[in-house]
Amino acid sequence: MKTLGPWYPAIGLAVAAVVCMVVYGMDGNWTSAFIAAIALLAAAWFVSPALGGSGQPWDILKDAGPQQRPVVIFWRPGCIYCLRLRMVLDTAGNRAEWINIWHDDAGRAYVRDNNNGNETVPTVLLAEEVLTNPSPGRIRRALSKF
């Protein structure tokens, strides 16, 4: 059975949404209740493991050449830098392979090997170059070529 650890931030935000609904609702301020709940539930979605990472596993991608996998982004839920990268890339990010290191042990090992044993994300494999927390603009420019 998988651990719930990666889900704790999302669960905490969802609980906070319910608490806001109750607190604001008791005061009769339903507009604020709904706005707060929607904002907190959106944040829960963005930090949840359910967002992204549905591509091929690193074990398969690592054997492909740079032409088959020009941009690989290693990420994890709850990482604000990963979220920033995803938001800035917008639809251009769909051309990259996104690997959730909490769901891919080989991907996690690759990130550790390239970051002095740390699980620093986002780590981006751009052709043959490994970049740790690169500027989103650089990745966007690289993706525009593909």
| Structure tokens, 10 | 């999302």
Per-residue pLDDT of the chain (146 residues; tens, 9 = 90+): 456 666 787 788 889 999 989 998 888 888 988 898 888 888 887 767 665 545 678 888 888 766 667 789 999 887 889 888 988 887 777 788 899 998 899 999 999 999 999 999 999 998 889 999 999 999 988 888 87
**Interval 23-50: pLDDT, tens:** 988 888 889 888 988 888 888 877 676 6
Determine the pLDDT at residue 72.
Answer: 92
Q: What is the pLDDT of residue 1?
A: 43
